[in-house]
Chains A and B, each alone.
Chain A
């Protein structure tokens, strides 16, 4: 849904690769998981616990909780408040959260 501006595309030295559901995603250092996700073709972040409907980041400022994703080492967190780092593994949250170790 989104693309980086022309003047920023060349700055490869400031990028890292993260994994979303096992697929590599190139992200800019200093951006959030949600903002990297929104440049992907499938930019949804979770399915809801009630109906299983897809949701994507909506507010980007931490108040809507539609970007909840499973982040390695952190558990279920708001992707719009989570900064990328090299090798970070992220999974879309499908349905209700299962009980299990997360941090």
Chain B
């Protein structure tokens, strides 16, 4: 059994940055990550792409990840790629399965840096082959360099949708049309936030505006104010019907629709350990309750990066470093790099988060995604529609009972796709706030485990 000082789950910007600080200071660090190479989703494949035409098309922010990946590779942390964590016990005993089989790690402290996932936003037909997320398409752009075979339709709201369209066009793909689901922001509030954003991060703001302008110019069609979507087809996507806030209904023919409604912190890992969460109305997402170091309600677990609350890659780097500094402090070590101080990290974090209030407000998801109609599948795994949950919802039971009665959240994804919607449906049915409704309890294993993986524990002397 491996007994490191620190186990880091996730090798994205936060996990790598924390590992670098901790390992350089002399801690024994183990980093496990599901991907075959470091970088997380944002810097996925950066070692292969940086310096190529693809890397240039993906942009300088993407290529800047190479320096962190290189420093991480050399920092001395033990790195297990292609490895999934399927259980962390409250005593921190951690079960992982990867190319080396099933292993148990018993660290002194754990840093969760598992990033984000796209916010599930159910609509009729969203389970059809041909409907995918924008994030999925961006992953294909980074590796192996795939683009939609035909000019593509994108529907959504959020910086990622704009960034993907921008990258796709730069790489020789085409956008057939963009169904903008972003609700309009009240003018006075937009101006106030825009004013602050300009003062703090004019470069980022200009970049975003140019993506928007480019999209409106280069996309075949641009439809603002879309409030409802329906994917049409039987065995695969054949078309999309949409409705605008003005009440206009229209239909397009397409075999691929990319959707995006913002991102959510990955909470399964933290919640499986009983870490407290809260509803963040500004980000329309649950997030863990943390102090300024990323420490949560479990005394030996810290959370950094987007898993701590959506902040983006740059903020994730600084949150990772801050958590690492706290870990060093707790284990009686000091950072090896002279400039790596709490003050410098906090200042850099504040700069990285300067644009966030503006982004959160301008790209706040429309309320409709939390209130899908009766025909919409909520739980993709168990194929349950809103209608199937109605009778139980009426009985004021709460998410865990609803799960037991209907099987919503009991399938392979373990509630990752339906948890937020179910919580919203319960809140609406009971007239409560999201913060008063807890999502499904998380049950082990965090990821499905094969019996042979469990049997592999015999090698660790834990079979009994």
Q: Indicate whether A8 sits within 8 Å of B136 (C-beta atoms), given known contacts A1-B130, A50-B382.
A: no
Q: What is the minimal beta-carbon distance from A58 to any residue of chain B, in angstroms?
A: 6
Whether B256 sits at the interface, judged by CB under 8 Å, is: yes
List of A residues within 8 angstroms of B59 by Cβ: none
List of A residues within 8 angstroms of B137 by Cβ: 60
Contact A55 B127 (CB under 8 A): yes
- Contact partner, A60, options B84, B136, B417, Cβ 8 Å: B136
Contact B131 A8 (CB under 8 A): no
- A68→B411 CA distance, assembly (Å): 12
- Contact partner, A5, options B54, B128, B133, Cβ 8 Å: B54
- A7→B140 CA distance, assembly (Å): 15
Q: Is the interface of B mostly helix, strand, loop or mixed?
A: loop
Within 8 A of A (CB), among B383-419: 383, 411-413, 416-417
Q: Indicate whether A2 sits within 8 Å of B136 (C-beta atoms), given known contacts A61-B41, A65-B413.
A: no
Within 8 A of B (CB), among A1-22: 1-8
Within 8 A of A (CB), among B140-157: 140, 143-149
Q: What is the minimal beta-carbon distance from B332 to any residue of chain A, in angstroms?
A: 37
- A6→B255 CA distance, assembly (Å): 21
Q: What is the minimal beta-carbon distance from B173 to any residue of chain A, in angstroms?
A: 8
Contact A5 B131 (CB under 8 A): no
Contact B135 A55 (CB under 8 A): no
List of B residues within 8 angstroms of A68 by Cβ: 412
Whether B464 sits at the interface, judged by CB under 8 Å, is: no
List of B residues within 8 angstroms of A54 by Cβ: 128-129, 235-236
Given contacts A4-B145, A7-B53, 5 further A-B pairs with CB under 8 A are: A31-B144, A54-B129, A54-B236, A55-B380, A65-B411
Q: Indicate whether A2 sits within 8 Å of B147 (C-beta atoms), given known contacts A57-B136, A60-B132, A103-B450.
A: yes
Contact B135 A1 (CB under 8 A): no
Whether B139 sits at the interface, judged by CB under 8 Å, is: yes
- A58→B258 CA distance, assembly (Å): 9
Contact B117 A63 (CB under 8 A): yes
Within 8 A of A (CB), among B39-69: 41, 48, 53-54
Contact B129 A5 (CB under 8 A): no
Contact B417 A55 (CB under 8 A): no
List of B residues within 8 angstroms of A38 by Cβ: 140, 146
- A30→B127 CA distance, assembly (Å): 27
Q: Indicate whether A1 sits within 8 Å of B172 (C-beta atoms), given known contacts A48-B383, A63-B117.
A: no
Contact B129 A44 (CB under 8 A): yes
- Contact partner, B135, options A30, A35, A50, A60, Cβ 8 Å: A60
Q: Indicate whether A61 sits within 8 Å of B149 (C-beta atoms), given known contacts A1-B130, A83-B36.
A: no
- A64→B145 CA distance, assembly (Å): 22
Q: What is the minimal beta-carbon distance from A1 to any residue of chain B, in angstroms?
A: 5
List of A residues within 8 angstroms of B380 by Cβ: 55, 58, 64, 66
Q: Indicate whether A1 sits within 8 Å of B144 (C-beta atoms), given known contacts A59-B117, A62-B34.
A: no
Q: Which residue of A lies closest to B132 (CB)?
A: A58
- Contact partner, B381, options A8, A30, A65, Cβ 8 Å: A65
- A2→B452 CA distance, assembly (Å): 35
- Contact partner, A1, options B54, B256, B411, Cβ 8 Å: B256
Q: Which residue of A lies closest to B45 (CB)?
A: A30
Contact B450 A35 (CB under 8 A): no
List of B residues within 8 angstroms of A3 by Cβ: 146-149
Whether A91 sits at the interface, judged by CB under 8 Å, is: no
- Bits for A49-77, please: 1 = Cβ < 8 Å to B, else 0: 01101111111111111101000000100
- Contact partner, B129, options A31, A35, A56, Cβ 8 Å: A56
- Contact partner, A55, options B48, B54, B129, B447, Cβ 8 Å: B129
Q: What is the minimal beta-carbon distance from B375 to any residue of chain A, in angstroms?
A: 14
Q: What is the minimal beta-carbon distance from A3 to any residue of chain B, in angstroms?
A: 4
Q: Which residue of A lies closest to B57 (CB)?
A: A5
Contact B140 A2 (CB under 8 A): yes
List of A residues within 8 angstroms of B147 by Cβ: 2-3, 5
List of A residues within 8 angstroms of B36 by Cβ: 30, 83
- A55→B412 CA distance, assembly (Å): 14
- A35→B137 CA distance, assembly (Å): 10
Q: What is the minimal beta-carbon distance from B373 to any residue of chain A, in angstroms?
A: 19
Q: List 22 A-B contacts (CB under 8 A).
A: A2-B140, A3-B147, A5-B54, A5-B146, A7-B145, A28-B144, A30-B36, A30-B48, A35-B146, A43-B129, A44-B235, A44-B236, A48-B383, A58-B127, A60-B137, A60-B139, A61-B117, A61-B139, A62-B34, A64-B413, A102-B450, A103-B450
